[in-house]
Amino acid sequence: MTSMTNKLTAAAVLLFIAVAGAASLINAVISGDKDNIAALPENSGQGYGSELEAAAAEKFAGRDGWIAFGSRVDSAMKGNIVNGVYVADDRLISAEGVSRKDLSRSVGYINSFAQAYDGAVYFAAVPTSAGVYGDKLPEHISRGAEKQLIDKLCGGLDTSIRCIDAYDLMKMMSDERIYFRSDTKWTMYGAYCVYRTVIQKLGSQPVSYDKYHIRHVTDQFYGDLYRKTLYMKCEPDILDIYEYSEGAEVLSCTGYDNDGYVEQIGLYDEEALESDDMYSLYLGGEYPLVRIRTDLNNDRHILVIGSRCAASFVPFLIQHYSEVTFVRPELMDRPLSDFLYPDDYEQTLFLFGIDSVTDSGLKYIEMR
Amino acid sequence: MEYSSLLFIYAFFPLSLAAYYAVPAKFRDIVMLLLSMVFSGLFGIGFLVLLMVYTLVNYICGRVCGALRGRKSRSALIPFAAGMTFDIAAVFIFRVSCFSWLTRAMHFPEGFFPIGISLFTLSAVGYLADVCTGKQKAEKNYVRFALFIMMFPRLFMGPVLRYDIFTRILRSRKCSMQELSTGFSIFIKGLAKKVIAADTLYSMYSTVKVSDVKAISAGTAWLGITAYMLCLYFTLSGVADMGVGIGYCFGFRFPQSFNYPMFSSRIRYFAAKWHVQVIHWFRKYITRPLTARVSSRYVRKLVFLLAWALLGYWYGFDLSSAVWGMLMGAAIILENRFITSKTLKATGIIYTFVLTVLFAVFLAGDSVTGSVDYLLAMLGRTHALADGLTVYLLKSYLVVMLMTMYASTDLFRNMMLRSGTARIRNTLGAISPVSMVIVLIICTALIAYTGSSEMQIIKL
């Protein structure tokens, strides 16, 4: 290479690196997340580098554009699998599979809860969209793995726990709009389909579908799988709200954080539709505990311990209980007994997405 | 923090270049050491402390060894043996899983791995051996010695150098636009090897790896292990190139470790071009000393074989990897004995490629029995030449495979070198800056989601 070419190459690369680096720094400052810059991230044991790397990726200038471009290059090279997501003709499907790690530990926590608890315990594990639409995945990605995992989970549970099969139910309904195209979670209709079965097991009759007034609050929902790929041909999804005007009224809906801070919220937080996390529409935000009181006088109380996907299920329960308490162990940093007395509830329903059932937060539900 | 991460490329690398060039030349070694400490510290304080203790122990052993050697040559063996035991114990503790209780007892975090330990152990042991035998004076300058062990451009993939060569490179450093340009070019080439080629091939390989080895067709098994071999090459040479490129940007002209070994026409040529300095280290410090006073041809061959087995073990720290090394050594011995120079080059390339791919089954396998199972699959255990997965792999990855196969050869480089006309060279020169930035953009886009290229086919 000539001297001029050398200078040009060095200058071009340096300029590009300097501009992109400076723009990312400015982006990080402008985005207002000053804590990330001022303080070193928490050291998780693998060094600060990995946390800083994640922060650098998060604040990288033009991140969405980079990811969208990277997705195109990736899918051209890797046969439609982008960042662990399979781009099928009509939907995005996670190709990463569900971890079996810590499964027996989770089963142990649930069993120990059931053994110390006086009421009836029910368990339902909800497959992800990959579990139901696995036949769209390339042959090598293990199909039916979620079914096996759910069976294994139910097989390990204490005999006093009634296991409800949500997998076969969802599989049967797979032609319906039960899962989002751009997300691993079920739609509210998917939740309704499972509710019909679950509530009968819990001893009530479900509210029929035609009694609900269904409102499409947005048709611009892009879920977690979309955010991984930014695949531009992905159609946005619709978020629904189910309203039953003749049914029970919500008297109060209260969110609690770990420090006991209380906030009055609604079953549906439509302000979340203006945020990046539209799914927070259901029981708004990230509360470890949400308590809903209704005007029903049946004195029936239910404790729902579940993952995020259960948030769109809980609104169906208010037609049957005077109090519904929804707990998300993944958001808890202290034992469940610090929040409530489980024995105050005659029924407890574990409702987890199969991808969240091994969450470490489950340790907090153990009762001693 | 990987070299192939946004944090490194767009923050650490430019800032460290700025810091390095902002100080007068006489302080640059200290700045480089401080930068290396920051770089290591980002992997965890434990790693930084380990590196500093490791450096100090080897420095002291080297000094004591050097001092004793002047008086009594035998007594110099004591610090040498102590240093070598420490170095080898360190590498075993962190690389062999049965010692994980010891790392836990030492309060290292779960999953802690001192990256590069296999390489800087070779450097340290080689240095102590040279000091002990009088081929090298013990280093008195601690900063320079610490750089030898923990300089960040060499940390991941070497190159493993003799101490005198390392100091020669330090002394003859040249900071110019020429060096910067060459450095960026090599770095971006290495980045592309890792992010574009190796990561894609890793996806292909892992697709086969997660399948039931007893059920896959021969075609799938061959495609899987070919992807593994190419992925291994692009990972190792990619990271090595990035390190060399970074070194050039700081003015250090480190030699390259891989010289287009794939598609060599003989196994011995493959071995001569694969991880050059590491194989040279094993020859210099294992094979030669052990065979120096041996006249028997068979014993020499046996030592050669064992040295290769040791090299294989060094890669994976398991029996299966040692079998890979032994097979490579045996193939070289047999090749020297039976293959004449008259064998056609094309035939040689095919036979070398097939054998290296077959042997790689042992390098890829977790156990010897697992590797044998895989070999049986390659030989058609299921009586099926191809299955659905073979078709899927070919449909999805054929173009990538062919492109990476081409990129792993020296055909393009030779074409450039032989392009006689000044017009072609000028054209290539003119597009060089643009092409470098384009490749950097593509690599950045590919790592934008996770922030780094995380797939690691091998840990050294």
Q: Which residues lie closer than 8 Å to A346 by C-beta, 6 or more apart?
A: A119, A120, A300, A301, A302
Q: Measured between alpha carbons, how far is A248 from B447 in angstroms, rounded to an integer?
A: 50
Same domain membership, residue A73 and residue A36: yes
CA distance A164 to chain B (A): 30
Strand order in the sheet with A120-126: A161-164, A120-126, A347-353, A301-306, A323-327, A289-294, A250-256, A262-264
Q: A98: alpha, beta or left, given left = phi > 0 and alpha = psi -120 to 50?
A: beta
* Any A CB within 8 A of B106 CB: no
Contacts of A21 in chain B (CB under 8 A): 10-11, 14
How big is the CA angle at B94 (ends B88 and B97), to the nearest 5 degrees? 115
Closest chain A residue to B425 measured between Cα atoms? Answer: A1
Residue A87 lies in a domain: no
Q: Measured between alpha carbons, how far is A186 from A306 in angstroms, rounded to an integer?
A: 14
Same domain membership, residue A337 and residue A210: yes
Q: Are A264 and A253 in contact (CB under 8 A)?
A: yes
B6·A142 Cβ contact <8 A: no
* Any A CB within 8 A of B205 CB: no
Among residues A16, A36, A142, which one has the least CA distance to residue A86?
A142
pLDDT of residue A48: 66
Q: Which residues lie closer than 8 Å to A299 by C-beta, 6 or more apart?
A: A322
Q: Measured between alpha carbons, how far is A128 from A146 in angstroms, rounded to an integer?
A: 8
* Any A CB within 8 A of B213 CB: no
Same domain membership, residue A237 and residue A342: yes
pLDDT of residue A140: 61
The residue length of chain B stands at 460
Instruction: Identify the H or E element spanning B434.
Output: helix B422-447
CB-closest option in B14, B47, B448 to A66: B448
B442·A80 Cβ contact <8 A: no
Same domain membership, residue A108 and residue A55: no
Same domain membership, residue A171 and residue A37: no
Regions of chain B with pLDDT less than 70: 70-73, 109-111, 341-344, 419-422, 425
Instruction: Find where tokens 């892009």 sit.
Output: A222
Please state whether beta strands A85-87 and A92-94 pair in parallel, antiparallel, or not at all (unpaired). Answer: antiparallel
Q: Are A350 and A305 in contact (CB under 8 A)?
A: yes
Q: Measured between alpha carbons, how far is B356 from B264 in angstroms, rounded to an integer?
A: 10
A13·B432 Cβ contact <8 A: no
A5·B396 Cβ contact <8 A: no
Instruction: Find where tokens 């996670």 sit.
Output: A94
If one counts every other C-beta atom within 10 angstroms of the C-beta of residue B266, the result is: 20
Q: Measured between alpha carbons, how far is A333 from A313 in angstroms, rounded to an integer?
A: 24
Mutation target among B9, B39, B103, B184 for the A interface, most CBs of A within 10 A? B184
* Any A CB within 8 A of B100 CB: no
Among residues A180, A198, A200, A177, which one has the least CA distance to residue A189?
A177
**First CA to last CA distance, chain A:** 74
Q: Are A218 and A239 in contact (CB under 8 A)?
A: yes
Q: Are A257 and A288 in contact (CB under 8 A)?
A: yes
pLDDT of residue A144: 57
pLDDT of residue A304: 94
* Any A CB within 8 A of B449 CB: yes
CA distance B433 to chain A (A): 4
* Any A CB within 8 A of B180 CB: yes
DSSP string, A203-239: T-PPPPGGGSEEEEEEEEE--HHHHHH--TTPPPEEE
pLDDT along chain A (368 residues), means of 10: 75 88 83 49 54 80 83 75 78 78 83 90 89 76 72 88 88 88 91 92 90 91 83 83 89 89 88 86 88 90 92 93 92 88 91 82 77
CB-closest option in A6, A46, A57 to B451: A57
- Going through A68-160 in order, the beta strands assigned E by DSSP cover 81-82, 85-87, 92-94, 120-126
Q: Which residues lie closer than 8 Å to B319 by C-beta, 6 or more apart?
A: B367, B368
Same domain membership, residue A187 and residue A272: yes
Residue A113 lies in a domain: yes
A46·B111 Cβ contact <8 A: yes
Give B138's DSSP letter: P
Instruction: Find where tokens 């390098």 sit.
Output: B363
Q: Is the peptide bond before A335 cis (omega within 30 degrees of 0)?
A: no
Structure tokens at B237: 């040479």
Same domain membership, residue A284 and residue A148: yes
If one counts every other C-beta atom within 10 angstroms of the C-beta of residue B142, the result is: 14
pLDDT of residue A285: 74
Q: Are B235 and B195 in contact (CB under 8 A)?
A: no
Q: Measured between alpha carbons, how far is A97 from A137 in angstroms, rounded to an integer?
A: 11
Residue A31 structural domain: 2-77
B274-310 as b/e: b if 16+ CB within 10 A: bbbbbbbbbeebbbeebbeeeeeeeeebbbbbbbbbb
Structure tokens at B449: 């989601």
Hey, what amino acid is at B427?
Answer: T
Residue A116 lies in a domain: yes
Same domain membership, residue A174 and residue A31: no
Exposure of B216 in the CB half-sphere (CA atoms within 13 A): 29
If one counts every other C-beta atom within 10 angstroms of the C-beta of residue B45, the result is: 13
Q: B24: alpha, beta or left, given left = phi > 0 and alpha = psi -120 to 50?
A: beta
* Any A CB within 8 A of B389 CB: yes
pLDDT digits (tens, 9 = 90+) for B245-288: 999 999 999 998 898 998 888 888 999 999 899 999 999 998 98
Q: Which residues lie closer than 8 Å to B381 by C-beta, 6 or more apart?
A: B214, B218
A47·B47 Cβ contact <8 A: yes
Among residues B57, B40, B43, which one has the least CA distance to residue B112?
B43
Contacts of B44 in chain A (CB under 8 A): 43, 45-49
DSSP string, A25-92: HHHHHHTT-HHHHHSPPPP-SS-HHHHHHHHHHHT-TTHHHHHHHHHHHHHHHHTTEETTEEE-SS-E
Q: Measured between alpha carbons, how far is B177 from A221 in angstroms, rounded to an integer?
A: 50
Residue A82 lies in a domain: no
Same domain membership, residue A137 and residue A268: yes
- Going through B245-345 in order, the beta strands assigned E by DSSP cover none
Q: Measured between alpha carbons, how far is A73 from A82 in angstroms, rounded to an integer?
A: 9
Among residues A351, A325, A355, which one has the least CA distance to residue A166?
A351
Same domain membership, residue A152 and residue A52: no
* Any A CB within 8 A of B111 CB: yes
Q: Measured between alpha carbons, how far is B13 from B123 in angstroms, rounded to an integer?
A: 24
If one counts every other C-beta atom within 10 angstroms of the C-beta of residue B255, the result is: 15
Q: Measured between alpha carbons, how far is A76 from A80 in angstroms, rounded to an integer?
A: 7
Using CB atoms within 10 A of its CB, is residue B272 exposed (0-12), middle (13-18) or buried (19+)? middle
CB-closest option in B11, B13, B111 to A56: B11
Residue A91 lies in a domain: no
pLDDT of residue A79: 66
Residue A92 lies in a domain: no
Instruction: Find where tokens 């045996």 sit.
Output: B330
Q: Where are the domains of chain B?
A: 6-172, 179-266+339-450
* Any A CB within 8 A of B392 CB: yes
The interface predicted TM-score (ipTM) is 0.80
B448·A2 Cβ contact <8 A: no
Q: At B248, is the secondary structure helix, strand, or coil? A: helix
Instruction: Please report the number of interchain residue pairs, chain A to chain B, with beta-carbon separation below 8 angstroms.
Output: 171
Same domain membership, residue A47 and residue A118: no
* Any A CB within 8 A of B18 CB: no
Contacts of B223 in chain A (CB under 8 A): none
pLDDT digits (tens, 9 = 90+) for A181-197: 889 899 999 999 999 99
Count structural domains, chain A.
Answer: 2
Residue A263 CA, chain-centre distance (Å), reads 22
Q: At B9, is the secondary structure helix, strand, or coil? A: helix
In this prediction the pTM is: 0.76
Same domain membership, residue A182 and residue A64: no
CB-closest option in A6, A11, A52 to B178: A6
A177-203 as b/e: b if 16+ CB within 10 A: ebbbbbbbbbbbbbbbbbbebbbeebe
Q: Measured between alpha carbons, how far is A351 from A199 in angstroms, rounded to an integer?
A: 12
